[in-house]
Amino acid sequence: MDRFQHYIDGRFEDGDAWFQSLDPATGAPWAEMPDASAADVGRAVEAARRAFLGRDWAGLSATQRGKLLMRLADLVQAAAPRLAALETRDTGKIIRETSAQIAYVADYYRYYAGLADKIEGAHLPIDKPDMEVWLRREPVGVVAAIVPWNSQLFLSAVKLGPALAAGCTVVLKASEDGPAPLLEFARLVHEAGFPPGVVNILTGGPEAGRALSTHPAVDHIAFTGGPETARHIVRASAENLASISLELGGKSPFIVFEDADLDSAANAQVAGIFAATGQSCVAGSRHIVQRTVKEAMLTRLKAKAEAVAIGAPDRMETEVGPLCTRRQRDRIQALVDASVRAGARLVTGGQTPDRPGFYYPPTILDCTEAPDAPCLHEEAFGPVLAVTAFDTEDEALVIANGTAYGLASGVFTRSLTRAHRMIRGIRAGIVWVNTYRAVSPIAPFGGHGLSGHGREGGLAAALDYTSVKTVWLRTSDDPIPDPFVMR
């Protein structure tokens, strides 16, 4: 059985305790992972603090930091096949997705490598003639980055890239579900030549998460995951008053108008909900379709869902693989069953298959007559699509905004004016028009409400890892008058 290690202060270390990682395609254990204790976390944070204050990192110019990130990007690109195979083995995400995504992750590190020496301050036109005042953007300090198992190399890059570009140091906690690719990624960090303690990578369960989010030397917490865990982190951060950025879940509306290219919309919807087996924070899980074309869309979606190739995640022909964990599969089945009891009509799927592993079929539920069905309101984080209908544009907006989430959204229409109205009206951090699930290192993403706050990607993310220092310089050579002598 394979065994992985923590990466702390420039060294690879065994854990004091271990846990087994299961292969989602078979349900069998395949590797042992180190289970970080509070003491392990403490050593990692202390190493990050020393590195932040030490000359080996703080003494580098922004351009030198950028060169290290560029080196890391090249190593990620070269190692993409190995990392992709590990992610597929440990999380069940299909190899055609992990291969493409990890190759693109290298571009995120390249983007932040180029941005490192372009994080600028400002000169203020102050209202005092004998003063020069300017703003410096400086690294916020030690960052606790906590990422889930899904798309973990991507979700790490949008934290690690901007944090390192800004000059921070990082303790990165991988999920206890499927941590192998991030623990392997640590070898690339080491090879790239970052000074010891600048990047530390470990994994573990709730004890490690609590220790990291409460540590007094942590200055910023960057978390991706579910709202309930986020609430624990926010409460825990009261111990150190760290700033927080949260990228949480979504219940994203995918709105189709009667004038849309229905074939294009169907293809985008299938990619938006069944790609990654639906285990994506931006999954378009609510299909909101104009009533006049609802049956036409359902026919297309049902045919595409039933034609999806379900199989072993390491085979290139597989289009939908297993879910990451048994508990997630069981939760999805319970959600689908509850929705059917609430009046939703099962269009296709909806039954756990009789096969090894954590598989669940692409599932479509028509909830038009069941507005309270749980699948319309709760994030399934799986291949479950809830369909509902609307008649008017205003009604579509009410349905789209009728959720506590606000991460992503999609609009399909040929009308440019309608598209602009919907862009203004939808409460979401991302609006895709006549496309879905497009990303770029240049474009920030994030949401509001139960979808979190703060942004990842783009310049906005790098600024989140800085604090502003105001500098006042008196330019007069005259002595400062005695403030207690009245003139």
DSSP 27: -
Distance of CA 252 to the CA centre of its chain: 15
Closest by alpha carbon to 437, among 257, 205, 305, 275? 275
Cα–Cα distance, 73 to 68 (Å, whole number): 9
* Orientation angle between helical segments 152-166 and 62-91, nearest 10 degrees: 170
Biggest CA-to-CA distance, the chain? 92
- Is the CB of residue 297 less than 8 Å from the CB of residue 287? yes
Cα–Cα distance, 384 to 361 (Å, whole number): 9
DSSP SS3 for 426: coil
The amino acid present at 371, given as its one-letter code, is P
Given phi > 0 = left and psi -120 to 50 = alpha, else beta, which region is 460?
alpha
Cα–Cα distance, 411 to 431 (Å, whole number): 7
Closest by alpha carbon to 323, among 366, 301, 365, 355? 355
* Alpha helices (H) along 237-344: 262-274, 294-307, 326-341
DSSP SS3 for 314: coil
Cα–Cα distance, 173 to 211 (Å, whole number): 11
The catalytic position among 46, 87, 97, 247 is 247
DSSP SS3 for 65: helix
Please give the structure tokens belonging to residue 3: 């065994």
Cα–Cα distance, 407 to 250 (Å, whole number): 5
Residue 184 bears catalytic tag: no
Beta-carbon contacts of 112 under 8 Å, excluding residues fewer than 6 positions away, are 66, 69, 161, 162, 164, 165, 441, 462
Closest by alpha carbon to 321, among 382, 366, 265, 261? 382
What is the H or E stretch that residue 384 is in? strand 384-390
Concatenated DSSP letters of 129-148 = TTEEEEEEEEE--EEEEE--
Q: Which residues are catalytic?
A: 247
